[in-house]
Structure 1
Amino acid sequence: MKLLHVAAATLNQTPLDWEGNKRNILAAIAEARVRGVSVLCLPELCITGYGCEDAFHSAATHATAWEVLQEILPATRGMIVSLGLPIFHRNALFNTAGLVVDGRIVGFVGKQFLAGDGIHYEPRWFKPWPSGLQSTIERNGRSCPIGDLCFDCGDIRIGFEICEDAWVAARPGANLARQSVDLLLNPSASHFAFGKIEVRRRFVAEGSRAFGLTYVYANMVGNESGRAIFDGGALIATGGRLVAEGNRFSFADCEVTSAVVDLERTRMGQARTGSFQPDLQSSESGCVRCDFDFPVPAIADNGASRAAWEESPQIKEEEFTRAIVLGLFDYLRKSRSHGFVVSLSGGADSAAVTILAALTARLGLVSLGREGFLAKLGYRHDLSELPEAKLVGALVTTVYQGTANSSETTRHAARVVAEAVGVTHCEWEVDGLVAEYTRLVSTAIGRSLTWSTDDIPLQNIQARVRAPGAWMLANLRNALLLATSNRSEAAVGYATMDGDTCGGLSPIAGIDKAFLRQWLAWMEQHGPAETGAIPELHVINAQAPTAELRPQEYHQTDEEDLMPYPILDAIERAAIRDKQKPMDVYLLMRNRFPAYPAGQMAVWVERFFTLWSRNQWKRERYAPSFHVDDENLDPKTWCRFPILSGGFVRELAELRAYVQGESFR
């Protein structure tokens, strides 16, 4: 046997937070040392933070990252540690993993495949390192190799795949395996998306099997820079089997996952594989040699273990809860805000946001304990004397703002939800403000406003007059005002700008209404294991979604204004995610929802494309939202569309002609 103790760390970093990032890195190194780890993999760009964006174009960023690297080096004595940082070389910037051996930098590996789709914009800042090439950098009078490298450290060979490198067909791992690499490190910053962890588990386990080596995968965790949420989940696999798996959605700044692996076993596995052929003809110029004495670890009974919730049949609901809650918690503390304010209307969206805000405190307390939770909110000195039962109310405030069109149903529902989750709840009326604005405008234009002629303005003014009071409450409490609009509404502009869209953060703008209603039903019946169900949510789930902006005799509902939410969401996916034209979307919907008349489906498809085109300006103005899947409509990170466009006029004419022809067939 040739045993080696390896580890991967998940870190909660913040862009350009030099001292905080260094502190987390040093904590990971210290924890690994206590465990007797010899090789530690840290996440991608862990020194600077992954989400520095155009600050990567600053020479000061690179210079400071290099200084921080030098400050970390002494802590790595007796260990091998990978550290991620940008390196400026030959007038180009490269995303690199530096390998540090016993306190000394021995080389930098450049990322070969840059993530440039969806939420990622790496090609804006970095250049891909060409496969098979090596170079040398000069720093402080010393030279150091950089490029497509592997490292021979005390007769153990180490190579790298950096995040995206492992997601492509031409993985660098294949070439590294032919160079007899024993250990493949993957420093990553892989954002959360529903179901994505299964892909990671597969490529880590399969990489270890196909390449015949041990694979160590490290990841970021938390809300690093605002929109992306990283779920952590360190992985270690050897010979095709996961042997260690770290927590996901941890509230901790640093967690280390380790395993003892047998390199002799993987080497002999390669020898027994008929397809394996070492590259005996290539030069060794790409292999950096250095001395290192590996201690012999004790034999360990490894075994990847997962939290019970990972096996839940409602895994999407579990992931959604934990991702948004962790995102809110990090946004709260990193922005140094003192809490959250939600305009709680008594409907599904604002109830969901309220519950998520309350769960931010409740799950944070479960995860960190009272003292750990308060330590992370150390700037809130006023919380230190509060009993745990009062902390949710101190951090979350809701307000119900009634008008003549509000029902007792929603007023009661708001009160019940607020009391059930323990937030501080306020109520006031805004009818006087609505009446005064209506009078001012009526006087100015010389006529009265009526529902028959001025429906949209009269609806919108009610939503807008609620914003100033909510903002004032947030200002008084130094809190974040959370917007309550969802993705389905964003797609068709069914939201009042400066009304339900007002806020500094929009936590559910990345998720569709149909799933939100499904999640609320799950919260009513089950909820996360740590906190349990909220049966009081029946008062929300029993209602049909309504904006309550028209007089009650109109019996306004969202789906009457728009279309059934499952159909809206299906049209959105086909039209926006899959880029289908109106005719094709119509045919898909007719096949999927045959119970609806052809003419009605055509109306809904045309309504969607028309409203989508008209409302891009609204999507451009939404507060930052969290990314949770590949159906996000956020134009700043995922889904770009022109503010001004032709509006699908030709395509919709084609659809109308087809439907008219159908009626004569």
Structure 2
Amino acid sequence: MHLFTVATCSLNQWALDFEGNCDRIIESIVKAKTAGASLRVGPELEVTGYGCLDHFLEGDLFLHSWEVLAKVIDHDDCQGIMLDLGAPIMHRNVRYNCRVIAYNRNRILLIRPKLWLANDGNYREMRYFTPWARPRHVEQYYLPRIIQDIVGCIKVPFGDAVISTRDTCLGAETCEELFTPDSPHNHMGLNGVEIFTNSSGSHHELRKLDTRMNLILEATRKGGGVYIYSNQKGCDGDRLYYDGCSMVICNGRILVQGSQFSLDDVEVLTATVDLEDVRSYRFTPSRGLQAVNSPAYERIEVDLSLSQPGSILSQEISPSSPQELRVHAPEEEIALGPACWLWDYLRRSKASGFLIPLSGGIDSCATSVIVFSMCRLAFDAIKNDNQQVISDTRRIAGESPDSTWLPSTPQELCGRLFHTCFMGTENSSAETRGRAKELAAEIGAYHTDMSVDIVVNSLTKLLQLVTGFVPRYKVHGGSDAENIALQNIQARVRMVTAYLFAQMLPTVRKRRGGGGLLVLGSANVDECLRGYLTKYDCSSADINPIGAISKTDLKRFIGWAETNFGLPILRRFLDAIPTAELVPLDPNTKEYVQSDEVEMGMTYDELSIFGRLRKVNKLGPFGMFEHLLHAWKDRCTPREVYEKVRRFYHYYSINRHKMTTITPGYHAEQYSPDDNRYDLRPFLYPVFTWPYKKIEDALRRHEEGAAQKEIKSE
């Protein structure tokens, strides 16, 4: 047997937090060594944090990266273990996303630049880096002087090479390279590489983990080998949450899998592997023939063994046993992912907590339950003696540095940091007011209840004073313009009121520190896509944990949380008809005339379908019509399909401008319409006359043909 122990890490790195990132790297190395690992692998760009964005264009960032690398490589606790570190490196005035592989303070074995860059969706790596488009090419890199003095040499290999030890051979690939059709691990495996490292900055999306893990498992299922996957975890300063789940795989089977969502800043996983398992797995004639004809890699020789010496009868170390892949249900992902993201944002922004305008509807309800889930996670971490969470909790709660206070329940913690506010008008119902109050009580939030009619009436009187015109709701005989304007006044007053209370409530509550509250938005992805929200209303906030989650998924989450969080009030939110409550009751029927889906002219389920076809399937109006013509053939006539598609594109296009100012939202869905990072499209659209005419022409031919068939059948 050739047994060796490897360590992979999920680190909660923060973009540009060089000191904190350095400390977490060193802590992970210490934990890896303590567990007996001979190789430690860290996440992509762990030195700087992945989400530095245009800071990667600054020379200072590359200087500070080398300064951090120097501290790590020269640290006494980082000796005697091979390190695979992630950092940006500038070579010949070109910026590269690199792996720095080092052993002890006297040797940097290889700087390996990324071959294939992530450059779609949330990723813009080619804006900052250049791909190393020279497979298996190696040249010399001149080290900066701060490193020369440590390692005692001037030059090190730079390029696409592999590391050869006395007992095995290892190679590195980085994130996107795994997901490309021609992945480097295929070629390295045919060249005798037995250990592959993959350092990643992969973000969470609902239902994405299973797809990612299948690709990782497939990396060694056909060709054999040990695959060490390391992924960042946490919010590093933007809309993404990196969801960890680092793992070690051997021959297509999982040996160890890390957590996807947790509040631990440093998570180190170890597994022990027998190299002989890889060699026997690869013993097939067809693989041997391909290996003989495979182009060779340059091997960087290092005089050490990764495997453990000793008798095969020794029981001090044993191979790790395979385990099943663990995947959360989407409802759990909504409960955990945005909650972890909110915790990172709260503690790193130095705010005193959150405030949400709690309307009594399902969207602000779901956002509030996610905050409660965050409090549950923090409470569990406190019970597990997570010192970082304990320190952050006391500071956020306004405790003094020498305080020993800790919450006794998640509700107590929620009461310290979460503030809900019902801002009613004369159009609000007792039902929504009651639901908001009861939900706040069940989760422990600090709740305020008020009417904003006095402010709304002041603004309408101002219009009357200046113009002499008195606006009326439609149910009272007013025009569409008057009706919308009167609704928007209420919505925008709530936004201004929310920020006033967010700034003043910590003072009102005599909280130590004086920091304000972060205002949470609660517009779901479907409303954003359709533009079914008022610009600069309560959708305008500091951050929005549900900004890329569909109404359909939110309802499933609320149903799940009702049972799993023990919140019976949530059933009343599920049973309520979604309504904005911005217009008066019908004077004749005394009933509400406002319903979200009726006003939108489409259901939330239909909106999800439109969103995926537009963004994920990349279809315009004509392509969407063609697709739905077949998908909806049992529920709609061709003309009804056309009318639905046309209605969607009409409202999408006239409301696209709202996405230019939308609150930064947690990214959870591939059809997110976020204009600022993800969905780069115009916000001033022409009318889609060309595709509409093309559809209408096809419909005319279809209907004429159907009419002729009916005549002949008679």
- Of residues 98-107 and 402-411 in structure 1, the stretch that sits farther from structure 2 once superposed is 98-107
Residue 283 of structure 2: SS of its match in structure 1?
A: helix
8 A contact 2:338–2:370 mirrored in 1: yes
1:374 matched residue in structure 2: 390
1:157 and 2:190 are equivalent in the alignment: no
8 A contact 2:529–2:672 mirrored in 1: no
Of 243, 265, 268, the residue aligned with 1:253 is: 265
CA separation of 1:576 and 1:3: change in aligned 2, threshold 3 A = closer
1:447 and 2:469 are equivalent in the alignment: yes
2:509 matched residue in structure 1: none
Of 513, 517, 540, the residue aligned with 2:573 is: 540
1:468 and 2:484 are equivalent in the alignment: no
8 A contact 1:506–1:622 mirrored in 2: no
- Of residues 279-288 and 257-266 in structure 1, the stretch that sits farther from structure 2 once superposed is 279-288
Of 617, 621, 626, the residue aligned with 1:578 is: 617
Structure showing greater Rg:
2
Of 540, 560, 575, the residue aligned with 1:502 is: 540
Residue 47 of structure 2: SS of its match in structure 1?
A: coil
In the TM superposition, what is the alpha-carbon distance from 1:555 to its structure 2 partner?
1.9
Q: How far does the alpha carbon of each residue in 1:253-272 deviate from its partner, in whole angstroms, 9 at most, with x for none?
A: 01111111011221233234
8 A contact 2:162–2:297 mirrored in 1: no
Residue 552 of structure 1: SS of its match in structure 2?
A: coil
CA separation of 1:421 and 1:572: change in aligned 2, threshold 3 A = same
How many aligned residue pairs are there? Answer: 656
Residue 536 of structure 2: SS of its match in structure 1?
A: coil
- Of residues 608-617 and 403-412 in structure 1, the stretch that sits farther from structure 2 once superposed is 608-617
2:607 matched residue in structure 1: 568
8 A contact 1:349–1:486 mirrored in 2: yes
What are the within-5 Å matches in structure 2 for residues 380-395 of structure 1?
A: 380=396, 382-383=398-399, 384=403, 385=405, 387-389=407-409, 390-395=412-417
- Of residues 486-495 and 565-574 in structure 1, the stretch that sits farther from structure 2 once superposed is 565-574
Q: How far does the alpha carbon of each residue in 1:194-235 deviate from its partner, in whole angstroms, 9 at most, with x for none?
A: 232223322332222333211110000111222111111111
Partners of 2:640 and 2:49 in 1: how far apart? 50
In the TM superposition, what is the alpha-carbon distance from 1:411 to its structure 2 partner?
0.4
In the TM superposition, what is the alpha-carbon distance from 1:462 to its structure 2 partner?
0.6
1:350 and 2:378 are equivalent in the alignment: no
Aligned residues with identical type, % of pairs: 30
What are the within-5 Å matches in structure 2 for residues 311-460 of structure 1?
A: 315-369=329-383, 372=386, 373-377=389-393, 379-380=395-396, 382-383=398-399, 384=403, 385=405, 387-389=407-409, 390-451=412-473, 452-453=478-479, 454-460=482-488
In the TM superposition, what is the alpha-carbon distance from 1:374 to its structure 2 partner?
2.4
Structure 2 counterpart of 1:248, which letter?
Q
Structure 2 counterpart of 1:324, which letter?
P
In the TM superposition, what is the alpha-carbon distance from 1:661 to its structure 2 partner?
6.2
> What are the ranges of 5 or more consecutive residues in structure 2 without an aligned counterpart?
149-153, 311-315, 507-515, 587-591, 708-714
**TM-score, reference length from structure 2:** 0.88
Partners of 1:576 and 1:241 in 2: how far apart? 34
Q: How far does the alpha carbon of each residue in 1:458-481 deviate from its partner, in whole angstroms, 9 at most, with x for none?
A: 110010111122101212231110
1:94 matched residue in structure 2: 96
Q: CA RMSD in A?
A: 2.2
- Of residues 487-496 and 646-655 in structure 1, the stretch that sits farther from structure 2 once superposed is 646-655
Structure 2 counterpart of 1:419, which letter?
A
Structure 1 counterpart of 2:22, which letter?
K
8 A contact 1:10–1:255 mirrored in 2: yes
**TM-score, reference length from structure 1:** 0.94
1:80 matched residue in structure 2: 82
- Of residues 199-208 and 280-289 in structure 1, the stretch that sits farther from structure 2 once superposed is 280-289
1:632 and 2:672 are equivalent in the alignment: yes
Partners of 2:459 and 2:274 in 1: how far apart? 75
Structure 1 counterpart of 2:42, which letter?
L
8 A contact 1:571–1:589 mirrored in 2: no
- Of residues 629-638 and 412-421 in structure 1, the stretch that sits farther from structure 2 once superposed is 629-638
> What are the ranges of 5 or more consecutive residues in structure 1 without an aligned counterpart?
none
In the TM superposition, what is the alpha-carbon distance from 1:397 to its structure 2 partner?
0.3
8 A contact 1:497–1:618 mirrored in 2: yes
In the TM superposition, what is the alpha-carbon distance from 1:300 to its structure 2 partner?
2.4
In the TM superposition, what is the alpha-carbon distance from 1:379 to its structure 2 partner?
3.4
Of 140, 143, 164, the residue aligned with 1:136 is: 140
Partners of 1:590 and 1:522 in 2: how far apart? 34
In the TM superposition, what is the alpha-carbon distance from 1:321 to its structure 2 partner?
1.5
In the TM superposition, what is the alpha-carbon distance from 1:381 to its structure 2 partner?
6.3
8 A contact 2:190–2:287 mirrored in 1: no
1:229 matched residue in structure 2: 241
